[in-house]
Amino acid sequence: MLSLLVGPGCNSDLPQCKQPDIFCVGLVTQVGRVDDQAANQAAWDAIQQAKAEGLAEKTDVIETIDYRDYEANVRAFVEAGYDVVVTVGNDAGAATYTIAALYPKVYFIGADQRSSVDQENLPNLVWLVFPEDHLGFLAGALAAAMTQTGKVGAVCGSDAWPPMKSYGDGFMAGVLYINPDVKATVTYHNEVSLNASLYDTGWGEAAANSLLDEGADIVFGVGGTTGSSALESAASRGAYVIGADIDQYFALPAAAPRMLTSVHKLVKPGVFNLLKAARDSLDNKSAFREGIYYGQIDFSPYHELDKLIPATMKQQMAALLKDLLSGDIRPNELIPTP
């Protein structure tokens, strides 16, 4: 089932994008609305920035209703003559690659996606990737520093998806780096398919409750609505929580008063830079030739809990981010070998 085109500047005059002097950019969201206050919205904001700065004449979005719609949604933009198609989320990766291989004259940006081992690099497709182990490390470090019970936990989607495993491993590494005496538990949702593991609110709530029942007082949640539900459940019981991917203080108002921070991916600048590369001359399209573009990361303000965080810990978090980016800290080297 093909979702409808929606969004500012959208109209039914799609053939205009087939004109060579009109540069068109389309966004296919990961399952959900474009105004999700998450990666979809960040990608759309980047596209709108590109339009405002004269890099695109026409921009539209297709909101994906079901993950089985990805290929049809991407193809709709291509057949309408769009110059660049941006897709969001790992579960859109296969469809993005399939259509990109069929339409070499169209540029594709896979935001927060990675190629699989059997996929060759395509000159018209670039993956915008992020170091999830670094993000998990920052979450684990803050959790270890702030726990009062000496027990913290993470609720994640399936570790069959390598980035999710990186989140969990990074969390463990961050805890070990700050205080090896703190007990850290990482729970993965491996009982269902990868896609289903990201949209299981009941399991997320149950996993968070289990961690709290075992004494954890800080919970890190990551992996779609599964992770979000874990944060909301833990916060409702008085635990502190740490969000992921975006600043979830704004996305999860029920959990906001108990949210220490969120470790997040800067999707907007990454997508914007790649849109600029796609619009520029061939000499400036190195990101597409290389196939991978490494996005930036950060952690959000401490919002309502700012006064709770010691000044020394704030300084240490800033230093940890700097050391991660420089390579002085490598989370994968801190995880004990089984």
Task: Give the pLDDT confidence of 30-43 residue by residue, as tens digits.
Answer: 988 898 878 898 99
Q: What is the pTM of this model?
A: 0.88
In this predicted structure, the answer to whether residue 333 has a pLDDT above a threshold of 70 is yes
Q: Is the pLDDT of residue 7 over 70?
A: no
Considering the domain 5-129+267-294 in this protein, what is its CATH number?
Answer: 3.40.50.2300
pLDDT tens digits for 244-276?
Answer: 988 999 989 999 999 999 999 999 999 999 999
Which percentage of the chain shows pLDDT scores above 70? Answer: 93
Domain edges within the chain: 5-129+267-294, 132-264+301-333
* Tens of pLDDT, residues 168-218: 999 999 999 999 999 999 999 999 988 789 889 999 999 999 999 999 999
239 compared with 246, residue with greater pLDDT: 239
pLDDT at 5: 53
User: For 116-135, b where at least 16 C-beta lie within 10 A, e where not — what string?
Assistant: eeebeebebbbbbbbbbbbb
Average pLDDT, the chain: 91
**CATH number 3.30.2130.10 given to 132-264+301-333:** no
- Position 91 scores a pLDDT of 85
Bridge partners of 58, per DSSP, are 24
- Residues 83 and 25 sit within 8 Å (Cβ to Cβ): yes
Give the DSSP per-residue string, 52-88. HTTS-SEEEEE--SSGGGHHHHHHHHHHTT-SEEEEE
pLDDT of residue 9: 37
- Dist. CA 91–CA 71, nearest whole Å: 11
**Model pLDDT, residue 74:** 98
**5-129+267-294 and 132-264+301-333 agree in CATH topology:** yes
Give per-residue burial for 194-217: e unless 16+ CB within 10 Å, then b.
Answer: bbbbbbbbebbbbbbbebbeeebb
